[in-house]
Amino acid sequence: MRVLLFCIAIILSRFSGAGSVRLLIFSISGMALFPRYLLLAVLLLLADQATKLMILANFELGEHVELTPFFSLILVYNPGAAFSFLADASGWQKWFFVLLAAAISLWIVVLLWRHPERRRENIALSLIMGGALGNTVDRLAYGKVVDFLDFHLGGHHWPAFNLADAGITIGAALLALDAWLAWRSGKEAAPGVSP
């Protein structure tokens, strides 16, 4: 968690100065668990919005800059969800995704509050909440989500995404890992019992 917070703090240091970032990292180590999880979500939200604002300020729609043979920055908009799900809908999907993100975020806050000892699960939930709220800010501000990270190989492109999407994906992967580890430890604790 500290590595992730450190990476987010470095991104934020471009806006707030290195001294405040060192203070932020130092103060995180002494915090109770529940506020740390909320802080992780807020830091992801801020990093997501900061990077999107940088892209919006420097790119025209569709403009791309190739940084490596497999990675580019590009400005695209997605009115839908992952992989442009519901992108062609008539506009109702904006409010559907806003309400869905709000409901999920409230549910996550309750889970974080009730079970602060579940570190890996709570880090995962915090990343999902921060990502969902980052994309919600876009939906409310622009009516669509700003995407800009473009991975490609041999002319084939992965759909463009943003830091909020990355947080949601990493959070989902951590939840799957947590579930698998719990299943595995339960299987080891009771040999001969099929899962």
| 112 vs 15: CA distance, rounded Å | 29
Q: Are strands 145-153 and 64-68 parallel, antiparallel or unpaired?
A: unpaired
Stated length of the chain: 195
| 165 vs 45: CA distance, rounded Å | 11
Q: Smallest Cα–Cα separation from 48: which of 165, 159, 158, 144? A: 165
Q: Does residue 147 have an active-site annotation?
A: yes
Catalytic residue among 48, 138, 150, 165: 165
Catalytic residue among 48, 147, 150, 178: 147
Q: Does residue 165 have an active-site annotation?
A: yes
What is the separation, in whole angstroms, between the first and last Cα of the chain? Answer: 31
* Range 18-48 burial, b when 16+ CB lie within 10 A, else e: eeebeebeeebeeeeeeebbbbbbbbbbbbb
Taking each helix axis from N to C end, the angle separating 119-142 and 33-58, rounded to the nearest 10 degrees, works out to: 40
Which residue numbers are catalytic?
147, 165
